[in-house]
A and B are shown apart, each in its own frame.
Chain A
């Protein structure tokens, strides 16, 4: 029987409801408790989050408490630094079947975080050997692979229903064609399975064009169904993970669109951003407001069958073909998924656009085409694209890069005030 997160998500799926979840984390235990309480009290299907601070993410468990003692803030909850009993009290009376809590932590070496999580009764986590290394650390990929293998075994061995959500569907958060996101998410799920984990979720980060996203998410579900038949899995969508709109109106519209996308494409869970995203760490109030907004927007939308969505069809076929080729090519490199991933990056068969990590080849490039879709503008050594030219494109200028990063934000920030549609809420 799966743990709280899987049971809860499955029940909401059966009831046709989208689960929403914040990316919320604060340094002081009292602030974190306040945040969890107010999220738990919401009258919508919601999962709680402990987002850990970045000192913890790089294995520094001393500085967070020093900074807090000096009266400064840190950007998340230092799970390993606070005493275990403080975290048990933090969760007491909240964590349970009706309120699962997940740890989101961005650590390439997750052993300390996983051990502490398990010790305080938290069995749902996030990460992956690739997705928590290349975007989050300068440690060698091979080191992260071993650390994640060990951590999966600890989680699976010491909790009954350990759940890991792959962050593979996000990577650097923006300017990555969906086929690579889908492939890494599926490959990481296979890695988790190899190391004993039976309950997973596959992520996908909202991109630049809804049709492309719907096609990509359907492709992800098809590929997951082929590979993960013996696991409990669901799909979690992330509200846009790149540069966010700066105006409250733009940010609100983007969050609402992410909720609609989640429903249209049949995602079970949505990780929601806030109106403060472009600026600073959001308050509890802003998190709560965003969750309600997302849940509300989701209720107005229904599952859109692939057959009723001709605009997404071409994207689905393309993403599925590319992602399948990427997954199969990697799995052919070695029977051990971790070793296969390391070799794939060595050879540039997996290669994340714009990623500076030393183990990333850096020969691929992403662009936004006339339709507004994310496409490969440089294929590097990727085993896709057939006979297309592999030569490096022209140098990118800083203003061109910025325009691509800003594509979504500027589109939403320039939205005019909506004229209320008939039948629309409010």
Chain B
């Protein structure tokens, strides 16, 4: 018996598969029953699998630098389809520069991703997320706030300095 069912995918332009092979094993070792949709996953295949398979978790992994955009496209497609709401996480190397990581995390969390895993500690953080999700349900997870670095120059809505 598995603890949860997961769909694993990447974005349409990303052909890297070692990340998918690795994450499938990691998910299985943590109690997941995994459908690995493979490299260059078409958006409609992901939407279809989520609707028909009703997984507990959708995991998107991308490393080619186009993942941030692909994640936006996938999120929009899931939102447009009926019956495709699912807790979902993204991770890997999501743009072509490491310095984008905080900004991308912020954007994807705002767009409705449950959590985003990039950088050195992505895997240990993900394993903690899986543990919590198995215990309480993945939709109950509260992602840690995205870091806003001073140089990111984000307007701080709602703060007022007197």
Interchain CA distance A136-B10 in the complex, whole Å: 13
Q: Whose C-beta in chain A lies nearest to the C-beta of B38? A: A356
Interchain CA distance A263-B36 in the complex, whole Å: 42
Contact B17–A356 (Cβ < 8 Å)? yes
Interchain CA distance A242-B21 in the complex, whole Å: 14
Partner of A280, one of B15, B17, B20, B65: B65
Q: Whose C-beta in chain B lies nearest to the C-beta of A27? A: B96
Enumerate chain B residues within 8 angstroms of A354, measured Cβ to Cβ.
Answer: 17-18, 21
Q: How many A-B contacts at CB < 8 Å in the complex?
A: 86
Enumerate chain A residues within 8 angstroms of B36, measured Cβ to Cβ.
Answer: 356
Contact A401–B25 (Cβ < 8 Å)? yes
Chain B positions 59-106 with a Cβ under 8 Å from a chain A Cβ:
64-66, 69, 93, 95-98
Interchain CA distance A161-B39 in the complex, whole Å: 34
Report if A174-B96 is in contact (Cβ < 8 Å); known contacts: A60-B12, A75-B66, A138-B39.
no
- A410 to B: closest C-beta gap in Å: 14
Chain B positions 22-69 with a Cβ under 8 Å from a chain A Cβ:
22, 25-26, 29, 36, 38-40, 64-66, 69
- Flag whether A54 is at the interface (Cβ < 8 A): yes
Number of residues from A at the complex interface, CB < 8 A: 34
Report if A54-B13 is in contact (Cβ < 8 Å); known contacts: A398-B29, A405-B18.
yes
Chain A positions 24-82 with a Cβ under 8 Å from a chain B Cβ:
53-55, 57-58, 60, 63, 67, 72-75
Interchain CA distance A75-B100 in the complex, whole Å: 14
Enumerate chain A residues within 8 angstroms of B17, measured Cβ to Cβ.
Answer: 135, 172, 354-356
Q: Whose C-beta in chain A lies nearest to the C-beta of B13? A: A54
Q: Which of A60, A63, A280, A398 has the most CB of B within 10 A?
A: A398
- Flag whether A249 is at the interface (Cβ < 8 A): no
Q: Whose C-beta in chain B lies nearest to the C-beta of A175? A: B18
Contact B20–A356 (Cβ < 8 Å)? yes
Q: Whose C-beta in chain B lies nearest to the C-beta of A355? A: B17
Contact A357–B38 (Cβ < 8 Å)? yes
Q: Whose C-beta in chain B lies nearest to the C-beta of A72? A: B69
Interchain CA distance A397-B69 in the complex, whole Å: 31
Interface SS of chain A: loop
Interchain CA distance A62-B12 in the complex, whole Å: 14
Contact B97–A54 (Cβ < 8 Å)? no
Q: Whose C-beta in chain B lies nearest to the C-beta of A58? A: B13
Contact A401–B65 (Cβ < 8 Å)? no
Q: Whose C-beta in chain B lies nearest to the C-beta of A358? A: B38
Contact B96–A280 (Cβ < 8 Å)? yes
Q: Whose C-beta in chain A lies nearest to the C-beta of B36? A: A356
Enumerate chain B residues within 8 angstroms of A377, measured Cβ to Cβ.
Answer: none
Interchain CA distance A401-B36 in the complex, whole Å: 17
Chain A positions 373-399 with a Cβ under 8 Å from a chain B Cβ:
396-398
Contact B18–A55 (Cβ < 8 Å)? no
Interface residue ranges, B against A (CB under 8 Å): 12-15, 17-18, 20-22, 25-26, 29, 36, 38-40, 64-66, 69, 93, 95-98
Closest 6 CB pairs of A and B: A398-B25, A54-B13, A75-B65, A281-B96, A398-B26, A73-B96
Beyond the given pairs A137-B15, A279-B98, 18 more chain A to chain B contacts, judged by CB atoms under 8 angstroms and listed by A's residue number, are: A54-B13, A54-B64, A55-B13, A57-B13, A57-B15, A58-B13, A60-B12, A73-B95, A74-B65, A75-B65, A136-B15, A137-B39, A280-B98, A281-B96, A354-B18, A356-B17, A357-B39, A402-B22
A-B contact pairs, 23 of them (CB 8 A): A53-B13, A54-B13, A55-B13, A57-B15, A60-B12, A60-B13, A63-B69, A73-B95, A73-B96, A74-B65, A74-B66, A136-B40, A137-B40, A138-B39, A138-B40, A174-B18, A279-B98, A280-B93, A280-B96, A281-B96, A356-B36, A396-B25, A401-B25
